Amino acid sequence: MNSDLMEKDTSIALAKEKWKSNTDTNRKAVIRIKDVRKSFGDNHVLNGFNMELYEGENLVVMGKSGSGKSVMIKCLVGLIAADSGYIEVMGKEIATLDRQTLDELRSDIGFLFQGSALYDSMTVRENLEFPMRRHREKLGVVSDTTPLVIEALENVGLAHTLDLMPAELSGGMKRRVALARTLILKPKIILYDEPTSGLDPITAKEIIELMRSIQKKYGTSSLIITHDVDCARVISERMILLVDGINYAQGTYSELSASTDAKVEAFFKK
């Protein structure tokens, strides 16, 4: 038991050292996470996680199911409060923000949920209009929101679904509508929580292409949480492997896939 704990402590210390040596001080970070810890009872999900997302970058965080990826991304937008550590988004420390400032900051962060999270009782149009209710000034919308809604739907190729209910859409269409809803506030950062999970390979590929085209068009910074190696290979500029609640390894896809470390290799085994 003690040797397990000692091994875990050593790996945490090593990960911190690796993270420090890999930090790029020349690039502007839009998200900074330092030594974040989060536990649910005896279950220690994050054990001192560190990460930086640079402006215009596509960063993939990979980890197996239950490794704390979704908890980490929810801590970023203040949906879950971290037990300790420092989380800064666009220069603002999340833990110190009041409700209003946090809501303003959230309008610059798009969040694509794992299950799309479309509002069941609303049409596609209402789903897209909903986030604009509190941010009309930012978007310069006076009364008619239709042009913005149509533009967002055209970006994902679903302008014809305007008056459909979410129940009438397929899984892939739901994910694309959710992406359109994420884009409607013109965010500077987009957080993707398992964007391809539950989709067939062809639809997953379409979603990945869509994510790339959006990044190209709007120059957003993207943080992608996934366990899908193909998704990571196509979209990532840099990757972090989340193991035992820490950033165990980081680098480009080719660097990590060539690693001989057993824990890293396990991710890339077919």
Report the interface residues with another protein, using CB under 8 A.
74, 77, 79, 99, 103-104, 106-107, 109, 111, 113-115, 117-121, 130-131, 133-135, 185
Task: Indicate the helix (H) or strand (E) that contains 230.
Answer: helix 229-235
Min separation Cβ 171 and another protein, Å: 13
Looking at the Cβ atoms of 175 and 238, the one nearer to another protein is 175
Looking at the Cβ atoms of 107 and 203, the one nearer to another protein is 107
| Encoded tokens for 250 | 């980081």
Min separation Cβ 101 and another protein, Å: 11
Min separation Cβ 183 and another protein, Å: 12
Looking at the Cβ atoms of 91 and 115, the one nearer to another protein is 115
Beta strands 109-112 and 189-193, pairing class: parallel
SS3 for 78? coil
CB 256 within 8 A of CB 249: yes
Nearest CA-CA partner of 182 in 127, 112, 90, 122: 112
Looking at the Cβ atoms of 27 and 136, the one nearer to another protein is 136
Looking at the Cβ atoms of 18 and 198, the one nearer to another protein is 198
Looking at the Cβ atoms of 190 and 246, the one nearer to another protein is 190
Looking at the Cβ atoms of 48 and 110, the one nearer to another protein is 110
DSSP assignment string, 130-188 = GGGGG-HHHHT-SS--HHHHHHHHHHTT-GGGTT--GGGS-HHHHHHHHHHHHHTT--S
Min separation Cβ 11 and another protein, Å: 31
Min separation Cβ 146 and another protein, Å: 18
CB 116 within 8 A of CB 175: yes
Min separation Cβ 140 and another protein, Å: 16
Min separation Cβ 73 and another protein, Å: 11
Beta strands 84-89 and 29-40, pairing class: antiparallel
Cα–Cα dist 228/193, whole Å: 11
Please give the distance of CA 151 from its chain centroid, rounded to a whole number: 23
Q: Backbone dihedral region of 126: left (phi > 0), alpha (psi from -120 to 50 degrees) or beta?
A: alpha
